[in-house]
Amino acid sequence: MSLELFLIVFVPLGGSVLPLWAARLGRRAPPWVAAAVTALAFTLLLRLAPDVFAGDLIKARAGWIEAAGLSVAFRLDGLGFLFALLILGIGLLIILYARYYLPRRDRLGRFYLLLLLFMGSMLGIVLADNLILLVVFWELTSLSSFLLIGYWHAEPEARQGARMALTVTGAGGLALLGGVLLLGQIVGSYDLGEVLASGPIIRASELYLPALILVLLGAFTKSAQFPLHFWLPAAMAAPTPVSAYLHSATMVKAGVFLLARLHPALSGTDAWFYLVSGAGLATLLFAAYTALFKHDIKGLLAYSTVSHLGLITLLFGLDTRLSAVAGVFHILNHATFKASLFMAAGIIDHEVGSRDMRRVHSLFRHMPHTAVLAMVAAAAMAGVPLLNGFLSKEMFFAETLHLEALGRSSWLLPAFATLASLFSVAYSARFIHDVFFNPIPEPLPRTPHEPPRWMKIPVEVLVAACLLVGLAPALAVGPLLALASGAVLQGPLPPYSLAMWHGFNLPLLMSAIALAGGVLLYTQRRHLFRLHDELLPRVNAGRVYERVVDAAVGVSARLTAVLENGSLQRYLALFVATAFAAGLAGFVSGGAGFGTLALTPVDGVSLVAAAVLVASALGAAWLHRERLIALVLVGVVGLVVALAFVRFSAPDLALTQLSVEFVTTLLLLLALYFLPARGPVDSAPGRRLRDGLLAALAGLGAFALVAAVLTRPADTISGYFLRESVPGGGGTNVVNVILVDFRGFDTLGEITVLAIAALGIWAMVDRLRVADRPGHDGREWAEDRHPLILAMASRPLLPLALLVSLYLLLRGHNLPGGGFIAGLVAGVALILQYLASGVGWTEQRMRLSYLPLVGLGLGLAALTGFGSWFFERPFLTSAHGHLHLPVIGDIELASAMLFDVGVFCTVVGAVMLILERLGRVHVETAEVRASREATWNS
């Protein structure tokens, strides 16, 4: 297993918090820290480069949820290496560029935190070796990009663009999850290697078409394919470093990466050809045409990005081996020239104060260095010879002609490809001329000048790459392209040549037509703009999206108004009625009824206990307005339930029930102090009749279901737990073994919820001031009066109770007990001290902070789970064995004990945090409250 592969992903993810911490050291610290984290991951990637170029498939894997086919598995092949190289390499340049672009008022720690979080998520996508893990990182990119796009959250455009991006890509992520689940169903595994090797099985399955459509929806939304393209131009409200990184080099490339990654499994069918190439061709033409009419520089670049993504999608959709090579090649080329163009646009905006090409002009005189860099990058985007964009477009043209020779298309495809390239030349020419040479007389918003030297270095590096690849492609990217293309094709590469000159041929003619036609089209731009404004309908996909969202929100609001009127009784009544109707439907349709097995005979004691239980429950419901009496009756119900557990040999549950009853009774008594002794009439007679009828129906339904189950023979899972408790969990107390071993993940979730509830209550009641209830004096609450006999008797009980608690904790794995019961017993003993001797006396002698205790408990429980990863076992896998000590002999040890200690600490901390804080609530008398209000008013 390669540890470096794990670190490449998790160093940016884990290191994302460091820039936020470094922000306190000054503005210069966060970029340096972010650069160091990225450079470390980049170095780790380069360390693995020799093995990748040698043809090795590097893998790393750790167990996660093996039963569900989930594992933390990564693979580094040629395709993953190419994308990781782009993500980390361009990421380093963006970190440097953003340092000079972002204004001084911005919090750079937060920006670089989000940037590293996104970087790690993208690395997770391109290196994932498990499809479910890929979807997890896919959604992380959607969330982190949402935060990056909305980084300037005070601006409405940023908030709107972020919401739009999250909605569209999030919906695509759900579709991708559905497609991945179908692929796993077809193949029987989510392992990427098995999926890629099962292409014939997938294509022959009846689930192939639904899986293909769902996967393509995920890819098309991420890569902004028509008609789901509108979110990307709206996302240009983000800072330019975000646009340069997310929307040219990384995030939007995730969709085409997915097409390349799953190409061996999903391609090779007519459905793939028509769906993928059709979407790519429509996006290529529409976005190339639209880009020509955008006045905002970033708007033009956004639509050009959409167009080039359509070109890459079309190449993968053409479904030839050489078109896949051309698609990979254009991914690399597009990332370099488009990232440099976005950064050049950011420099113009930063130094001039505007991105509107109707206002920005003649910048070549003021910013010649930046102008040359931007013009070279724009020429590469247009496909001008001697630059990298020309090479991949030549391959694209050749593949459209090759497809026609195969009889799968007509002359229309080469014509459309040439037309799209013609538009690309036109909008590139517009960018160059209007921004740098157009001599319009309108004054510039600011006096332009060259940016700081270090701000131009990232652009220079990327432009140099465009030139190097264009002049010496075989030397610059030949091995890398072959490596990545081989990973896409999963087989031998087709013959191709990376050279600038291939003689006079049709692709060269198509390029010449596109270059000449694009320049000619730009010279006629005034007529073209007038025709565009007068003849073509104005359809704004973003506005259509907003109307759809508004309509959905309106329908939801009306539905909510019908279902929710603020009455908890109504909600509960609807819930109970729905549950009863669903249960009744299943009961009747399934032909259920009482079985042939006899029920357990009822003895006299059990019958009396049941009668007490029913009477107490009915009494609590009937006398619920008499709050103290209702509390006593509820306590009787809890006591009878505990006795029932004893009767049916469940001592763990009985101990837990008794402890919970004590704690909850005390909690309710504390709350009752602030409430009137008698509750108000809260329901009309008709509603009470309805609620009683629903309760009776629900009770009868539950009885019928339980009786139907108990009177039929059934195999239960209890035999498995009884059989595996000792060999699998190392304990004879099956209940405790289930809680800390077999179902440890559930227990971790439960104590987490308990901790969150305790923290919520602590935050709400900390320093809370409440008015005393009518007819009482607040001094009753404040006076620290405690019976002497109770105080003296409770003090020796504390060490005894804590000893019992420790005994229950240590023996819980083999005898009734465990962390939860022990924690409740310890909590009861501690609360008794507060009740007997008062808060002040107790805190003077027992200086214990319960908030860190909750954190300690959760930390111990989680560390027990993470510890199993170091032994390549799934999360929370326990280990047990025996340790032989002299004199003492054998001692059984189990890692679940540490987990149980975590449960113990969490329960003690949560119980004490809630009850102790409630006991500290400050009660104001009427006189004190009046005096404070008078002070405020004055």
Residue 58: strand pairing partners: 76
pLDDT band at 837 (very low <50, low <70, confident <90, very high): confident
* 510 has pLDDT over 80: yes
* HEC readout, 830-889: HHHHHHHHCHHHHHHHCCCCHHHHHHHHHHHHHHHHHHHHHHCCCCCCCCEEEEEECCCE
pLDDT of residue 784: 59
**How far does CA 892 lie from the centroid of its chain?**
41
DSSP code string of 716-752? -SHHHHHHHHHHHHS-S-HHHHIIIIITHHHHHHHHH
- pLDDT tens-digit series, residues 159-169: 888 889 999 99
- pLDDT tens-digit series, residues 271-330: 999 999 999 999 999 999 988 888 889 889 999 999 999 999 999 998 888 899 999 999
pLDDT of residue 496: 84
595 and 582 in contact (C-beta within 8 Å)? no
pLDDT band at 405 (very low <50, low <70, confident <90, very high): very low
The greatest distance separating any two alpha carbons of the chain, rounded to the nearest whole angstrom, comes to: 108
Predicted structure pTM score: 0.74
pLDDT of residue 589: 73
pLDDT band at 479 (very low <50, low <70, confident <90, very high): very high
**How far does CA 298 lie from the centroid of its chain?**
28
- pLDDT tens-digit series, residues 105-120: 777 889 999 999 999 9
- pLDDT tens-digit series, residues 766-779: 766 666 555 555 55
pLDDT of residue 870: 79
Residue 151: strand pairing partners: none
* 89 has pLDDT over 90: yes
What tokens does 291 get?
Answer: 């880009």
pLDDT of residue 497: 82
- Among residues of the chain, what percentage have pLDDT more than 70? 91
Q: Which of 51-55, 224-228, 332-336, 868-872 has the lowest mean pLDDT?
A: 868-872
pLDDT of residue 809: 86
- Domain coordinates of the chain in residue numbers? 268-407+426-492, 529-563, 594-682, 728-938
* 410 has pLDDT over 70: no
Determine how β-strand 58-65 pairs with β-strand 769-771. Answer: unpaired
Q: Which residues lie below 8 Å from residue 689, measured CB to CB, with a gap of 6+? A: none
DSSP code string of 50-62? HHHHTT--EEEEE
User: Which pairs count as long-range contacts for 875-880, CB under 8 Å and 24+ apart, including other chains?
Assistant: 875/63, 875/64, 875/65, 875/745, 876/744, 876/745, 876/748, 877/63, 878/729, 878/730, 878/740, 878/741, 878/744, 880/729, 880/730, 880/731
- pLDDT tens-digit series, residues 449-460: 888 888 899 999
What is the mean predicted confidence (pLDDT) over 506-512?
88
- pLDDT tens-digit series, residues 349-381: 888 888 888 888 888 888 999 999 999 999 999
Distance CA 818, CA 901 (A): 9
Looking at every residue in the chain, the average pLDDT score rounds to 85
Q: Which residues lie below 8 Å from residue 893, measured CB to CB, with a gap of 6+? A: 880, 881, 882, 883
Tell whether the torsion through CA atoms of 725, 730, 732 and 737 is positive or negative: negative
Q: Which residues lie below 8 Å from residue 25, measured CB to CB, with a gap of 6+? A: none
The H or E element spanning position 229 is none
Q: Which of 125-129, 417-421, 526-530, 780-784 has the lowest mean pLDDT?
A: 780-784
pLDDT band at 33 (very low <50, low <70, confident <90, very high): very high
- pLDDT tens-digit series, residues 657-692: 888 888 888 778 777 777 777 777 767 777 778 888
DSSP code string of 241-287? HHHHHHTTTSTTHHHHHHHHHTHHHH-SSHHHHHHHHHHHHHHHHHH
What is the mean predicted confidence (pLDDT) over 737-764?
87
Burial class (CB in 10 A: 0-12, 13-18, 19+), 700: exposed
pLDDT of residue 537: 60
* 529 has pLDDT over 50: yes
- Residue type at position 195: V
- pLDDT tens-digit series, residues 587-622: 777 666 677 777 778 788 888 888 998 899 888 888
pLDDT of residue 775: 53
Rg from Cα positions in the chain: 35
**CB crowding 743-777: b at 16 or more within 10 Å, else e:** ebeebbeebeebbeebbebbeebeeeeeebbeeee
* 186 has pLDDT over 90: yes
* HEC readout, 80-134: HHHHHHHHHHHHHHHHHHHHHHCCCCCCHHHHHHHHHHHHHHHHHHHHECEHHHH
